């Protein structure tokens, strides 16, 4: 135990696991107070995640945008930036992918990458704005990204209504050649909506790992995250790194939007409220300890929780919002790692 507290790397892995367990426990407690059976609730939740090939397929489908949103948040975190704007960047990317998927006529091999690239560029530009304002005017990125979320929400809705409206609050469908959906994956999982997007998500995780761990650029980004002033003194261009970090972060978020546009929905809805994926991305990044592979695991877990929630409601009658409560609690516990450190110290002292 004492050893564990001294070893920061190990502690960084223990905190998320501990938090996830604590979150579930408090969730069970809430079920008890609400007069529901926690055992039944959790077994239904588990069923909903792993009970059938279709459930597993849906879990992985829901994980792809969450992983990418998590990567977006995690990448910015590494440079010491907090990107709450993933939600907005995701919407912008979603719209861009749907527009390219609808308007262009290309063979699938080119069409899909071009549509994803368009989403990445749109999201990247949207993320660049707060990065630029931070670097140039020292404006806190949190506030700017929140404001830009709303600008993105209302603007994308307006653009769809004006230029891409197919009726019934939806945009036109994308062309077949831009679609990520796959009959093969769908058959494999008994007719889930699983699509090739998960490959893009995993690929992006690998790219993030490579960029951060194996390149000079990544070293600089992390250095700026650790200590801005020291990096400046060492001759790094802090402003450039901030802008770059937010741009890449936004690009990840934009691709998360493409997952929805080219994969799950094949169009875009005129939204009046946020999808929530961007905010869940914060939870994913925290639980994954900002590590690309940790983020994949956390993304799959949250994807599963989200898709299994209706099943829990159906089988155990527990309102599906419980999942949202559990996710929120996990965020609290990860963020309050000081509490976990305190608890562990207390336990280890008593053990002696």
Partner 1 sequence: MSFLDILVIIIPATLYTAAPLIFTALGGVLSERSGVVNIGLEGLMLFGAFAGVVTTLTLQDSVGAAAPWIAIVVAAIASGIFSLVHAVASITFRADQTVSGVAINMLAAGLTLFLIRRIYNKGQTDFVDYRINKQDVPFLSDIPVIGDIFFSRIPYTSYIAIFVAIIVWYIVFKTPFGLRLRSVGEHPMAADTMGINVNRMRYIGVVLSGVFAGIGGSVYALSISGNFTGHTIAGQGFLALAAMIFGKWHPIGAMGAALFFGFATSLSITGAQIPLLQNIPSVFLIIAPYVLTILALTGFVGRADAPKASGIPYVKGQR
**DSSP secondary structure of 78-118:** HTT---TTHHHHHHHHHHHHHHHHHH----HHHHHHHHHHH
- What is the DSSP-derived secondary structure letter of residue 173? P
Q: Which is nearer to partner 1, 49 or 157 (CB)?
A: 157
Taking CA 129 as the corner, what is the angle to CA 126 and CA 134, rounded to the nearest 5 degrees? 140
Q: Which is nearer to partner 1, 64 or 149 (CB)?
A: 149
Q: How far is the CB of 162 from partner 1 (least distance, A)?
A: 8
Q: How far is the CB of 139 from partner 1 (least distance, A)?
A: 4
Q: How far is the CB of 239 from partner 1 (least distance, A)?
A: 15
- What is the DSSP-derived secondary structure letter of residue 176? G
Cβ neighbours for 136, distance < 8 A, ≥ 6 positions apart: 239
> Which residues in 14-46 are b (16+ Cβ under 10 Å) and which e?
bbbebbbebbbebbbebbeeeebebeebbebbe
DSSP H helices in the chain: 2-6, 8-33, 38-50, 53-78, 86-103, 108-137, 141-163, 183-188, 197-214, 216-226, 228-233, 238-258, 277-287, 292-316, 321-335, 337-351
Q: Which is nearer to partner 1, 50 or 150 (CB)?
A: 150
Rounded to 5 degrees, what are φ and ψ at 195?
A: -135, 180
> How many Cα atoms sit within 13 Å of 332 on the Cβ side?
12
Nearest one of 351, 329, 327 to 4, comparing CA atoms: 351
Residues in contact with partner 1 by CB under 8 A are 30, 34-35, 82, 84, 133, 137, 139-140, 142-144, 146-151, 154-155, 157-158, 272-273, 279, 282-283, 286, 319, 321-325, 327-329, 331-332, 334-339
Rounded to 5 degrees, what are φ and ψ at 96?
A: -60, -45
Q: How far is the CB of 343 from partner 1 (least distance, A)?
A: 11
Q: How far is the CB of 133 from partner 1 (least distance, A)?
A: 6
Q: Which is nearer to partner 1, 200 or 323 (CB)?
A: 323
Q: Which is nearer to partner 1, 200 or 283 (CB)?
A: 283
Q: Which is nearer to partner 1, 145 or 189 (CB)?
A: 145
Q: Which is nearer to partner 1, 205 or 331 (CB)?
A: 331
Q: How far is the CB of 15 from partner 1 (least distance, A)?
A: 12
Q: How far is the CB of 82 from partner 1 (least distance, A)?
A: 6
Q: Rounded to the nearest 10 degrees, what angle do helices 108-137 and 141-163 cross at?
A: 140
Q: Would you say 89 and 73 are in contact if contact means Cβ atoms under 8 Å apart?
A: no
Q: How far is the CB of 223 from partner 1 (least distance, A)?
A: 21
Q: Which is nearer to partner 1, 172 or 302 (CB)?
A: 302
């Amino acid at each position: 135990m004492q050893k564990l507290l001294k070893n920061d790397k190990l502690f960084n892995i223990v905190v998320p696991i501990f938090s996830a367990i604590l979150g579930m426990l408090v969730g069970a407690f809430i079920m008890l107070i609400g007069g529901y059976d926690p055992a039944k609730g959790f077994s239904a939740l588990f069923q909903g995640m792993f009970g059938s090939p279709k459930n597993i397929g849906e879990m992985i489908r829901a994980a792809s945008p969450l992983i990418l949103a998590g990567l977006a948040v995690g990448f910015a975190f590494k440079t010491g930036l907090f990107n709450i704007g993933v939600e907005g960047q995701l919407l912008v990317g979603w719209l861009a992918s749907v527009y390219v998927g609808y308007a262009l006529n290309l063979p699938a091999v080119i069409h899909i990458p071009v549509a994803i690239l368009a989403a990445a560029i749109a999201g990247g530009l949207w993320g660049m704005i707060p990065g630029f304002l931070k670097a140039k005017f020292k404006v806190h990125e949190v506030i700017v990204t929140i404001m830009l979320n709303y600008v993105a929400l209302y603007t994308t809705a307006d653009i769809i209504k004006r230029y891409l409206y197919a009726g019934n609050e939806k945009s036109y469908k994308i062309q077949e050649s831009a679609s990520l959906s796959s009959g093969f994956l769908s058959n494999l999982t008994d007719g889930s909506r699983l699509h090739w997007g998960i490959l893009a998500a995993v690929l992006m995780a690998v790219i993030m790992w490579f960029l951060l761990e194996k390149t000079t650029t990544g070293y600089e980004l992390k250095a700026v995250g650790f200590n801005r002033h020291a990096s400046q003194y060492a001759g790094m261009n802090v402003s450039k790194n901030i802008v770059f970090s937010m741009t890449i972060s936004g690009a990840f978020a934009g691709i998360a939007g493409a997952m929805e546009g080219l994969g799950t929905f094949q169009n875009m809805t005129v939204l009046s409220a946020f999808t929530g994926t961007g905010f869940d991305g914060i939870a994913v990044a925290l639980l994954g300890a900002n590590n690309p592979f940790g983020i994949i695991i956390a993304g799959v877990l949250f994807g599963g929780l989200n898709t299994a929630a209706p099943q829990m409601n159906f089988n155990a009658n527990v309102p599906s919002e419980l999942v949202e409560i559990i996710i929120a609690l996990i965020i609290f516990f990860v963020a309050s790692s000081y509490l976990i450190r305190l608890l562990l110290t207390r336990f280890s002292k008593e053990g002696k």
